[in-house]
Amino acid sequence: MARIFVTGSSTGLGLMAGELLIDEGHRVVLHARNQARAKDLMAAAPGAEAVVVGDLASLRQTRALAAEVNRLGRCDAVIHNAGVGYREPRLETEDGLEHIFAINVLAPYVLTLLIERPDRLVYLSSGMHHGVAPDFADLLWRQRRWQGAGAYAESKFYDTVLAFAVARHWPAVRANALEPGWVPTRMGGPGAPGDMAKAHLTQAWLAVSEDALARSSGEYFYQQALRAPNPLARDEATQETLLRECARLSGVPFKP
């Protein structure tokens, strides 16, 4: 059985994926933003191996979270599920970073580099990443007029870019991205038309399945099938620029 760490797993798809993996007999480390959520999570998922706490909006807490995961022992897979949506105004973190970018992009980058390297890495993207073009001159939306949906779509594009960059640089690791679909989570809203019963399956499958397709690397999935990503995500210059910018903003260099 595998050992899996799932970020942002106190509610929604992260919790659903964690519970599925626990039911399958895997050892699962779950994650909550604060102690109050962690207490509720331990009651909701008593089969979890552990619950770690850290606010991914904070670089300091993200570093500490990675250290705590490492203290618990090496993971076979990490599912980068945590994310915030597009309905919020432009907010800045304690590090002076735009809030959506900090949680959706920089936190998975930092955790990827600081958590002991697993066999598999799974990054949650979104169908909204299609059609996005990167704006590396204004990653943090300091110059552009704020658009929450645009910031979210860009962040999910960068998550896909990160998955493909990691797959290219770390051939021994299976790194993939996926879109769960527009489903009625707290982020998606009650009117979302997608099927919640299927939305969490692909990330769990990519984390542990021995199916040939699940053992791919550098691919993009929807409902356990390949789907074409935004082609710009495969551009190596785009990948290298994102890695450089994340290293600059976080102080954590990428290790080829």
Assess contact for 135 and 144: CB atoms under 8 A.
yes
Query: How far is CA 200 from its chain centroid?
Result: 13
Gap between the Cα atoms of 178 and 171, Å rounded: 19
Contact between 199 and 181 under an 8 Å Cβ cutoff? The reply is yes
User: In the structure encoding, which two tokens stand for residue 234, read together?
Assistant: 């495969």
| CB of 207 closer than 8 Å to CB of 220 | no
d(CA 214, CA 15): 21
Cβ neighbours of residue 222 closer than 8 Å, sequence gap 6 or more: 127, 178, 179, 181, 202
Rounded-to-integer distance, Cα 145 and Cα 149, Å: 12
- Asked if 154 and 135 count as a contact pair (C-beta separation under 8 A), the reply is yes
Q: Do the Cβ atoms of 9 and 15 come closer than 8 Å?
A: yes
Active site residues: 152, 156
186 exposed, middle or buried (CB, 10 Å; 0-12, 13-18, 19+)? exposed
